[in-house]
Structure 1
């Protein structure tokens, strides 16, 4: 591994090695599993976004650059993580956001019941939104040249003629199946959540494209960064949503999930570890060749999102085993790291993914 990547990974992995046992002892094994999955996902997503973020950071005045890369990202993701649950309760229960936030802290049982009632719509929203984000990689929307991690099948999917139409078609079909299999009492919520997920994804992409048009600068750069933070923050939220097969903010759950304050603590540490890696790697890479030796880390992060979207859809019909959901991110990203480190001659024989003609 090149020194540039080794030096960037050293501190985040050290922090992870220290914090996971602490979470196990002070909180629970479920908290340790959540922290491991979240931190590794954040590291992989940081590797994926370090190059475009470096391009944005390079156009920000130097004194504000480090603040933008570390504090700005952390605060944005944590705001998504901590504010979305009270917001969902406020919308579904016709409460004010302040009342919903107070309920989360002072009346966790009632908050859990209200959040459980909102869960089908939230899960449907997240499943479709995250599927569309994953599909950008799976169907190679940007038509970049890359080497397929999973061989010929991945290479073939990356060459589909209309990638955005394929992504939307598969997502809508999966949403329709989830509506058909769901209890009739929640079908409307799932349909509305799915439609909202599509709308939120398209709006986020429109804003991102507009903010980078014609060499945009100044506040538009921060707006573009906000679209990245939105996707990452929503992913963190949904990772907790699915971790133990029932809504993990529900303190009345019979499964060994996490309560609201435990999840907040795990989210702070996990996101902070990812932010440390992003800041160090972005500053070092400067939009060049720092991630060439970790060539499959982006694929690993993408497939974590794909599995997460499938688990969210499945959770609308059947409970998801805690062990499966708790460690899937760690396993996938670990495999991506292992297959990235050595250079093998056999790689020459894999199908490269090339832009479609």
Structure 2
């Protein structure tokens, strides 16, 4: 555990010191609270990521912890709110940064106004992950009475996309129409939610589709190699490791988009604690580092194999988070509620896994 979490411990120390140097001892408490917020909201993210990360070799796991964490901290926790303000307020990035540092109240207001777009994009991306999981016929079932009929329905082609589009349409014509926003009409808000939600759906289909495509290609290459073929791709002379590299790259890309979708609620929720983007980046960055380290720890310990229902619980938590994001377009939902729902699903699936293991041993 110490080996896996050593970078998280180091980042914690550096982040807390940086917070004190930036804004005194008060910042120490704010950074710590933000880190706890990020971990509590993203534990299910770690479980989902572990299910994907275990397909990658040690090199790409290190990339996930190094390059990936830079993207997570600086890209999503620092630059993302600035980009959102820059786009929605039609400001240049330097102007958005200047606004964030000099007029924090106005900056927070602009980020809040952009929440419907963020929630629609992230909600649709996460909803697709949940739907593709529950509509697939799996050998291991946690909630059999629910999962068996859903697996039978999943035989219908593109059902997950149809359901997601239906949910988006209902969201745009109900929650978006009645949501409050500074400026703009109801029609504009509904259109914004529709466009953002479709963008989230398309992003999922592209990234997930490319990842699945290269995984299948890699499996075909490995099957061909076992049948007596050499490691070069037939007809091209390219080594099989290059194909594996592409498969790993798109899986890594999928992980990054997944992490971005999970981070939306954390970034928005952080404004309830502070509107200082530097403290937000420090606190949420520390939390993101623990989530990433926990992901690697789950992979190396084989936790998902030992506790067979954990992935199920995490995906149900994802489904709940997706719906919460969409509902939050109109209604404000406390982050404590969001975090507790995720913890409840994970805890229930863990308890079921323990009981399953005991029964198997008996």
Normalising by structure 1, report the TM-score: 0.74
Residue matched to 1:179: 172
Task: Check if 1:145 corresponds to 2:139.
Answer: yes
Residue matched to 1:225: 252
Answer with 157-166 or 24-33: which moved more: 24-33
Q: Which runs of 5+ in 2 are unaligned?
A: 17-25, 179-185, 219-242
Residue matched to 1:75: 70
The whole-number CA distance in structure 2 between the counterparts of 1:41 and 1:261 is 26
1:331: Cα distance to partner?
2.5
What is the RMSD computed on CA atoms of the aligned residues?
3.4
Residue matched to 2:147: 154
Give the structure with the larger helix fraction: 2
Residue matched to 1:320: 333
Aligned partner of 1:270 among 287, 296, 310: 287
Q: Indicate how the Cα distance of structure 1 residues 291 and 128 shifts in structure 2: closer, same or farther if over 3 A, else same.
A: closer
Answer with 262-271 or 125-134: which moved more: 262-271
Residue matched to 1:4: none
Matches within 5 A, 1:1-357: 26-27=29-30, 31=34, 34-52=37-55, 56-57=56-57, 60=59, 65=60, 67-78=62-73, 79-140=75-136, 143-146=137-140, 148-162=141-155, 165-181=158-174, 182-183=177-178, 184=186, 185-212=188-215, 214-215=217-218, 216-218=243-245, 221-241=248-268, 243=269, 248-249=270-271, 256-259=272-275, 260-282=277-299, 284=300, 291-343=304-356
C-alpha distance after superposition, 1:122-166 (max 9, x if no partner): 2111111110111121212xx4422x2223112221232446622
Q: Which runs of 5+ in 1 are unaligned?
A: 1-6, 250-255, 349-357
The whole-number CA distance in structure 2 between the counterparts of 1:8 and 1:163 is 47
The whole-number CA distance in structure 2 between the counterparts of 1:44 and 1:8 is 19
Answer with 213-222 or 22-31: which moved more: 22-31
Q: Indicate how the Cα distance of structure 1 residues 153 and 280 shifts in structure 2: closer, same or farther if over 3 A, else same.
A: closer
The whole-number CA distance in structure 2 between the counterparts of 1:344 and 1:219 is 37
Q: Indicate how the Cα distance of structure 1 residues 291 and 201 shifts in structure 2: closer, same or farther if over 3 A, else same.
A: closer
The alignment partner of 1:145 has SS state of coil
Larger Rg: 2
Answer with 32-41 or 114-123: which moved more: 32-41
- Is the Cα–Cα contact under 8 Å of residues 30 and 258 in structure 1 kept in the other structure? no
The whole-number CA distance in structure 2 between the counterparts of 1:262 and 1:331 is 29
The whole-number CA distance in structure 2 between the counterparts of 1:104 and 1:149 is 46
Count of aligned pairs: 311
Q: Indicate how the Cα distance of structure 1 residues 164 and 108 shifts in structure 2: closer, same or farther if over 3 A, else same.
A: farther
